[in-house]
């Protein structure tokens, strides 16, 4: 059960730098339009952090007093952008990609990419997201 929802609208000043497929699962349907939503628990449960869509990159320890950093266990991309979510600050380290409209109910077993963009295989990304970038591809 969601205990609270935190929203962040990102302006240009902050953007220094930038599974389940198909329709949104019913539980993630509460994610606002044009937002990337991260949830503390699997199956879109727990505290929800929703980030308004913009081209550019966000480091999670720099927003919401770091509350969303390394806490996501499920996510929903309700934006029109491809999102890359990284394990390190400032878009560093391994990452996962999520297309517009795509959701992952459980990040404990997911395809991961290396920093050099080679495929790393299936592993956990649970509680490992520290930054993300939205792009058109």
Residues spanned by the domain of 82: 5-135
How far apart are alpha carbons 68 and 82 in whole angstroms?
20
pLDDT digits (tens, 9 = 90+) for 5-53: 444 433 322 222 224 444 566 667 689 999 999 999 999 999 999 998 7
pTM assigned to the model: 0.80
Residues 78/106/30/39 CA torsion (nearest 10 deg): -100
How far apart are alpha carbons 8 and 5 in whole angstroms?
10
Task: Please state the φ and ψ torsions of residue 63, each to the nearest 5 degrees.
Answer: -130, 155
pLDDT digits (tens, 9 = 90+) for 43-89: 999 999 999 877 789 999 999 888 999 999 999 999 999 999 999 99
Instruction: Count how many domains the chain has.
Output: 1
Residue whose structure tokens are 């949830």: 39
Return the CATH number at 67.
2.60.20.10
């Amino acid at each position: 059960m969601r205990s609270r929802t935190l929203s962040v609208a990102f302006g240009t000043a902050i953007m220094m730098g930038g599974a389940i497929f198909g329709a949104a699962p019913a539980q993630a349907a509460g994610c606002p339009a044009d937002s990337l939503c991260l949830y503390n628990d699997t199956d879109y449960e727990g505290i929800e952090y929703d980030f308004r869509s913009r081209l550019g990159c966000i480091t999670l320890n720099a927003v919401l007093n770091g509350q969303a950093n390394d806490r996501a266990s499920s996510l929903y991309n309700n934006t029109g952008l491809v999102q890359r979510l990284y394990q390190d600050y400032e878009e560093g380290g391994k990452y996962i990609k999520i297309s517009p409209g795509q959701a992952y109910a459980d990040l404990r077993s997911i395809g991961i990419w290396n920093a050099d963009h080679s495929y790393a295989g299936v592993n956990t990304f649970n509680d490992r997201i520290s930054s993300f970038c939205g792009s058109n591809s």
